[in-house]
A and B are shown apart, each in its own frame.
Chain A
């Protein structure tokens, strides 16, 4: 079991001219935690990550990793961090093996050949190890980027959009790798807008929009905090169009989607309307096979939270 690193930002702000990319960001990620950093495109996720890595200097505020200020020459600290960037670049004239061995040497990895082979086998690139990286597909490069980030067994893994460019099989592979890294006690910071992916990998989430952290909580609490609607799914023995229209006219129904004999209701608020729906079904003598409240996925939660907060911020701006 390894010791993950703690990340803390205090009033972290980054301005590019008059544009504020990150605004007074206060994050705290505990050692061994798997943290999802979410936000729409342009929210400030990558800028925050670049400040965490010492690539961008903050305009105000501080980044602390294990209570140490991150500077570009913090070698001992940087040797404990692995990074998978959103847009990765490689030395195209090197083979995957040469590339990995170069980074293994840079990070002073013990038994680099053994480690390199294990990682390339894990990402299914062992057979392609002698091919020049320039000839790799985007997905293969992404996997090689994972191998590079893990070659020195880092205590903190920072991943910016880790599954973009990967096929479904690659996504499953990466997910398994991340779970394995988390099980070893490493801290994971995963920035993504593919929310369903983060939902399965992280145990805490921070949502950023317009450079501000608008929510930070446990995964479960984030789901519960999402208010404003519920989704009820019903399956009938048979269903005609009139019945569907009548259900759609119920006062608490916002939207109705039909798929054969199944319908999905989106309610106008977060009250549990299953009893009301049950009474209506009995009244109309419909044969109901199944009724359940659908678990909200993070995609819906994310859209709701960011939309509400952006509207709130816009309202504040007008005042």
Chain B
């Protein structure tokens, strides 16, 4: 009964797993709702950027589309990473993962299957982002630069890193609730520090503060935290990649892309090893 032509059992299993997982995501409404929200937000950001250019009588806005595309990528990838975390922790919770492991599936196969599925879905949403940006270029008479493609690629790397983190937090948390709490808290921390640092440093700059001002202390703490987590935060990495694109710093762009790729690989290896160690029944 078995088809002996299957060339590589592991890749065949990965392909079967990723296909099932990506189909279930694409047949659901969630991805499309998150895409709609992301596009609406991106459009608002774009309109605001255009108004800012107009009100300040600026002749050129270097790349008004980039921020919108970045926001779109962050929102959709966060949603997909959350989905990845929920689906894996649910499989662990319910025991369906154990049933898979009875067959030609091991920990590496399972994690890679889940990872590829979610990255695949994100890639499809990037197609939507590309169509949307072309539409904006056409409607608003903007210039289409290759930077947009570079940022879409950077968004893909960021999404891969976030999805890998989602998978890692699912295995780490074990139960669905714990996995979600871990994921949300860490993402809030990474994003929150970056945003807070941006706001507080702006406030301090425009004030005539003394050295004892508590805002200075907060600024210093946030700045030092941010300087540390900027190397590990995917939001910071993708932002720096975007800045490198605008400033045409190829080296900086490659460095940040490499960092995202490296972190993604480390998180995937961590998830596989952790799953092997913990086992599907919680005992090794």
Which A residues form the contact surface with B (CB < 8 A)?
16, 50, 53-57, 72-73, 75-76, 78-79, 81, 83, 85, 87-91, 93, 102-103, 105-110, 115, 148, 152-153
Q: Considering the chains assembled together, what is the distance between the CA atoms of A83 and B94 in angstroms?
A: 17
Does B96 lie at the interface of the complex (its beta carbon under 8 Å from any beta carbon of A)? Answer: yes
Find chain B residues with CB under 8 A from A110 CB: 1-3
Most buried by A among B1, B12, B13: B1
9 pairs, A vs B, C-beta closer than 8 Å: A50-B281, A55-B280, A56-B283, A83-B102, A85-B99, A85-B102, A106-B13, A107-B103, A115-B1
- Ranked 6 nearest A-B pairs via Cβ: A75-B9, A89-B95, A153-B1, A108-B3, A72-B106, A83-B102
Contact with A along B1-39 (1 / 0, CB 8 A): 111011001101100110110001000000000000000
Contact A107 B106 (CB under 8 A): no
Question: Known contacts being A16-B283, A55-B281, A72-B107, is A106 close to B16, with CB within 8 Å?
Answer: yes
How far apart are the CA atoms of A113 and B3 in the complex, in Å? Answer: 14
Using a CB–CB cutoff of 8 Å, the interface residues on chain B facing chain A are 1-3, 5-6, 9-10, 12-13, 16-17, 19-20, 24, 94-96, 98-109, 276, 279-281, 283-284
A75/B13 in contact, CB under 8 A = yes
A312 to chain B, nearest CB (A): 30
Query: Is the beta-carbon distance between B102 and A79 smaller than 8 angstroms?
Result: no
Please determine whether A102 and B98 come into contact, CB atoms closer than 8 angstroms: no
Select which of A76, A85, A93 is within 8 A of B98 by beta carbon: A85
Other-chain residue from B6, B100, B280, B283 in contact with A108 (beta carbon distance below 8 A) = B6
Given contacts A75-B104, A79-B104, A102-B16, contact A109 B283 (CB under 8 A): no
Nearest A residue (CB) for B1? A153
Q: Give CA–CA (A108, B101) in the complex, Å.
A: 16
- In the assembled complex, the CB of A218 is this many whole angstroms from the nearest CB of chain B, namely 29
With both beta carbons as reference points, the residue of chain A lying nearest to B283 in the complex is identified as A16
Contact in complex: A103, B103 (CB < 8 Å) = yes
Whether the Cβ atoms of A89 and B283 lie closer than 8 Å is: no
Question: Is B2 in contact with A106, judged by CB distance below 8 angstroms?
Answer: no
Whether A79 touches B103, Cβ cut-off 8 Å, given contacts A90-B96, A110-B3, is yes
- A186 → B minimal CB distance (Å): 12
Give Cα distance in the complex from A81 to B106, angstroms.
14
Bound: A105/B113 CA distance, A: 14
Q: Which of A57, A106, A107 contacts B284 (CB 8 A)?
A: A57
- Asked whether, in the complex, the Cβ of A91 is within 8 Å of the Cβ of B96, the reply is yes
Q: Is the CB of A106 within 8 A of B103?
A: yes
Contact A152 B16 (CB under 8 A): no
Say how far A82's CB is from chain B's closest CB, in angstroms.
8
- How far, in Å, is A77 (CB) from chain B's closest CB? 9
- Give the distance to chain B from A65, nearest Cβ to Cβ, in Å: 13
Distance, CA A53 to CA B6, complexed state (A):
22
- Assuming the contacts A56-B279, A79-B2, A153-B1, asked whether A107 and B102 have C-beta atoms less than 8 A apart, the reply is no
Closest Cβ of chain A to B17, distance in Å, is: 8
